[in-house]
């Protein structure tokens, strides 16, 4: 078969490996040929998409015209002329009510007035509103996604809302986390959100947990609720939530976002796939930046979070077409929604025919997510900001490499730094002097760790250091004129 023209859509998280291009027109008769053309066109994508054995990394899914190639012929899948191939990395049906016939107490006249617009909908009505009143929903994470979730579920009359978060409100949160106010900076997020919910709807009961969700407390916390809304920003929490939800038979209403792109789905092992079916493993630490590292447009979490809230309401009320078995992908910059079909995997270690994961306690989520350094792995040496400043002032031979993206460097430039984006490091290693100490810098000191590991795998032998906690610690400890962002 002769090659055909195919459009490959590149998500934001992978664009640093394609020269920031969002789509490429490539030739190929099969997915394999198109991916070969992609690597040839953008060599840096090979490291991002494939492991050392040449296999597609577990955190990446490839869809052809909306269908996962795992459900077709894999890389041998034929592509038609004009087809769209989407790379979907992990970003950190109609059904009855998940609460059954539990309807709780009757509605008071005040509640009938408050929820009248729901009552006028035959799909909700009095029965559905009473179900909402009796429902218990746990929101894990009170950041960008948790904000609209809490607000809209409270306004809708969900009887009990549980809030899990261990962070305090920061000034940088206010650009998108609109449940919090300027006066709340420094307060625990659960306290700020509880107060806001009371102002929205004093009829709602709010239970707060100012703690980190862990393997030890997740079963008890989640077990006390009907539905869990995953509004977290890290992979460890996502896998822990999906595992406990599957084990307890609870639906996991999922949302994720980065820069201008968002994802939403409902992972309900009783009726469809779980998160592990779609993403068997997370990306290597640092490869996919968090919102704190890469940013997010303020309205995006509002859009994705309200989609999550909509899914929660439908699961409680019953009826409608939920996102079970479907992954909704949204690009706010191009204002495009795409729907991708996702399947339950028979070999899934959580919800497949022979599951290996039977309880969260004893499962090493840190190791699974690459958060624990292997004994065989060479440690990454760090350098404190003050020590780096001393060496610079003393004129010691040292190379500083800024791996941030151009728009980040526009915020603040680091003195004496050369610029090599992280996606170009392996092929530009010849620009570094292996006889001189090299210090890698980024915003928080996480991507720079990945940079060092990338160069080690590429065979670079020179001494390398990571600026601990990144440029923000330089702003705190060395140069107060530097902005923190």
CATH code: domain of residue 424: 3.40.250.10
Integer CA distances (angstroms), 52 to 56, 70, 104, 457, in order: 10, 20, 56, 9
Positive or negative torsion for Cα 455, 461, 466, 467: negative
Q: Looking at residue 290, what is its pLDDT?
A: 63
Tell me whether residue 484 is in a domain. Answer: no
Residues 361, 243 share a domain: yes
Tell me whether residue 115 is in a domain. Answer: yes
Determine contact, residues 260/333, Cβ cutoff 8 Å.
yes
List the CATH number of the domain containing 69: 3.10.20.30
- DSSP-assigned beta bridge partners for residue 437: 398
**Model confidence pLDDT, tens digit, residues 383-399:** 999 999 999 999 999 99
Please say if the pLDDT value at position 95 is more than 60. no
Q: Looking at residue 260, what is its pLDDT?
A: 92
Residues 216, 152 share a domain: yes
Integer CA distances (angstroms), 408 to 10, 258, 402, in order: 20, 15, 10
Highest mean pLDDT among 229-233, 454-458, 472-476: 229-233
List the CATH number of the domain containing 174: 3.40.50.720
Highest mean pLDDT among 9-18, 260-269, 450-459: 260-269
Alpha carbons 253 and 29: distance in angstroms, whole number: 37
Query: What single string gives the DSSP state of each residue in 167-222?
Result: PBP-GGGGGT-TTS-GGGTTSBHHHHHHHHHHHH-TTSEEEEE-S---TTTHHHHH
Alpha carbons 314 and 318: distance in angstroms, whole number: 5
Please say if the pLDDT value at position 104 is more than 90. no
pTM of this structure: 0.78
How open is the CA angle 70-71-74, to the nearest 5 degrees?
Answer: 45
Going by pLDDT thresholds of 50, 70 and 90, the confidence category of residue 295 is confident
CB atoms within 10 A of CB 225: 20
Average of per-residue pLDDT across 9-29: 89
Determine contact, residues 274/242, Cβ cutoff 8 Å.
yes
Alpha carbons 453 and 440: distance in angstroms, whole number: 11
**Residue ending a domain, choose from 58, 89, 120:** 89
Residues 163, 280 share a domain: yes
Tell me whether residue 375 is in a domain. Answer: no
**Model confidence pLDDT, tens digit, residues 157-178:** 999 999 999 999 999 899 999 9
> Terminal CA-to-CA distance of the chain, rounded, Å?
51
Q: Looking at residue 376, what is its pLDDT?
A: 46
Higher pLDDT, 159 or 292: 159
Q: From 69, 48, 17, select the one nearest 421 (Cα to Cα).
A: 17
How open is the CA angle 176-156-220, to the nearest 5 degrees?
Answer: 80
Query: Largest Cα–Cα distance of the chain, in whole Å?
Result: 79
Alpha carbons 214 and 236: distance in angstroms, whole number: 9
State how many domains the chain has: 3
Residues 414, 341 share a domain: no
Please say if the pLDDT value at position 340 is more than 90. yes
Average of per-residue pLDDT across 57-62: 92
Which active-site residues does the annotation give? 291, 442
- DSSP-assigned beta bridge partners for residue 167: none
Tell me whether residue 376 is in a domain. Answer: no
Domain that holds residue 10: 4-89
Higher pLDDT, 52 or 136: 136
Across 3-147, the runs of DSSP E, i.e. the strands, are 4-9, 23-28, 60-64, 67-68, 84-89, 136-140
Q: Looking at residue 374, what is its pLDDT?
A: 45
Going by pLDDT thresholds of 50, 70 and 90, the confidence category of residue 485 is confident
Residues 391, 350 share a domain: no
Please say if the pLDDT value at position 185 is more than 90. yes
Alpha carbons 76 and 430: distance in angstroms, whole number: 37
Alpha carbons 41 and 46: distance in angstroms, whole number: 10
**Residue ending a domain, choose from 26, 59, 89:** 89
Residues 394, 347 share a domain: no
Name the helix (H) or strand (E) containing 339. Answer: strand 336-341
Q: From 52, 30, 26, 22, select the one nearest 39 (Cα to Cα).
A: 26
Residues 418, 307 share a domain: no
Q: Looking at residue 94, what is its pLDDT?
A: 43
Going by pLDDT thresholds of 50, 70 and 90, the confidence category of residue 44 is confident
Q: From 362, 387, 161, select the one nearest 247 (Cα to Cα).
A: 362
Instruction: Identify how many contiguous H helices and E strands the chain contains and give both numbers.
Output: 17, 18
Determine contact, residues 357/349, Cβ cutoff 8 Å.
yes
Residues 324, 391 share a domain: no
Determine contact, residues 141/163, Cβ cutoff 8 Å.
no
Tell me whether residue 303 is in a domain. Answer: yes
Residues 139, 80 share a domain: no
Helix axes 146-156, 189-200, angle to 10 degrees: 30
Integer CA distances (angstroms), 126 to 107, 137, 153, in order: 8, 20, 17
Strand 160-164 and strand 205-209: the pairing is parallel
Q: From 7, 319, 286, 264, select the one nearest 149 (Cα to Cα).
A: 264
Residues 243, 214 share a domain: yes
Tell me whether residue 58 is in a domain. Answer: yes
CB atoms within 10 A of CB 53: 5
Residues 186, 238 share a domain: yes
Tell me whether residue 100 is in a domain. Answer: no
**Residue ending a domain, choose from 33, 57, 89:** 89
Tell me whether residue 101 is in a domain. Answer: no
Residues 271, 179 share a domain: yes
């Amino acid at each position: 078969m002769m090659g055909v023209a195919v459009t490959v859509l590149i998500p934001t998280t992978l664009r640093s490996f394609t020269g920031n291009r969002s789509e490429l027109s490539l030739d190929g008769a099969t997915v394999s040929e198109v991916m070969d053309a992609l690597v040839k066109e953008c060599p840096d994508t090979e490291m991002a998409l494939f492991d050392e054995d040449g296999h597609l990394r577990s955190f990446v899914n490839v869809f052809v015209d909306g269908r996962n190639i795992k459900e077709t012929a894999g890389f041998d899948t034929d592509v038609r002329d004009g087809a769209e191939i989407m790379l979907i990395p992990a970003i950190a049906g109609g059904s009855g009510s998940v609460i059954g016939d539990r309807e709780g107490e009757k509605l008071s006249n005040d509640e009938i007035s408050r929820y009248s617009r729901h009552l006028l909908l035959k799909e909700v009505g009095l029965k559905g509103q009473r179900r909402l009143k009796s429902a218990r929903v746990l929101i894990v994470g009170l950041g960008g996604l948790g904000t609209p979730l809490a607000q809209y579920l409270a306004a809708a009359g969900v009887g009990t809302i549980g809030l899990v978060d261990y962070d305090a409100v920061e000034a940088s949160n206010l650009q998108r986390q609109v449940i919090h106010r300027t006066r709340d900076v420094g307060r625990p997020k659960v306290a700020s959100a509880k107060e806001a919910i009371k102002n929205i709807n004093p009829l709602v009961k709010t239970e707060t947990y100012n703690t980190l969700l862990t393997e030890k407390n997740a079963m008890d916390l989640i077990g006390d609720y009907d539905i869990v809304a995953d509004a977290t920003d890290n992979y460890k929490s996502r896998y822990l939530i999906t595992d406990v939800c599957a084990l307890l038979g609870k639906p996991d209403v999922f949302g994720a976002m980065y820069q201008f792109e968002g994802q939403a789905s409902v992972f309900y092992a009783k009726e469809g796939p779980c998160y592990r079916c779609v993403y068997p493993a997370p990306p290597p630490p640092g490869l996919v930046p968090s919102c704190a590292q890469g940013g997010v447009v303020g309205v995006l979490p509002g859009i994705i979070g309200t989609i999550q809230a909509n899914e929660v309401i439908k699961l409680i009320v019953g009826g409608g077409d939920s996102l079970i078995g479907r992954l909704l992908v949204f690009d706010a910059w191009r204002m495009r929604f795409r729907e991708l079909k996702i399947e339950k995997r028979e070999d899934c270690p959580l919800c497949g025919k022979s599951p290996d994961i039977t309880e969260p306690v004893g499962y090493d989520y840190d190791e699974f997510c690459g958060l624990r350094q292997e004994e065989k792995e060479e440690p990454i040496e760090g350098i404190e900001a003050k020590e780096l400043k001393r060496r610079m002032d003393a004129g010691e031979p040292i190379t500083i490499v800024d791996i941030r993206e151009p728009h980040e460097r526009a915020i603040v430039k680091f003195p004496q730094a050369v610029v090599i984006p992280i996606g170009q490091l392996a092929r530009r290693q010849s620009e570094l002097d292996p006889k001189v100490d090299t210090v890698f810098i980024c915003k928080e000191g996480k991507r720079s760790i990945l940079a060092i590991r990338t160069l080690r795998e590429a065979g670079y032998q020179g001494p390398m250091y990571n600026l601990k906690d990144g440029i923000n610690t330089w702003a705190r400890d060395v140069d107060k004129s530097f902005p923190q962002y």
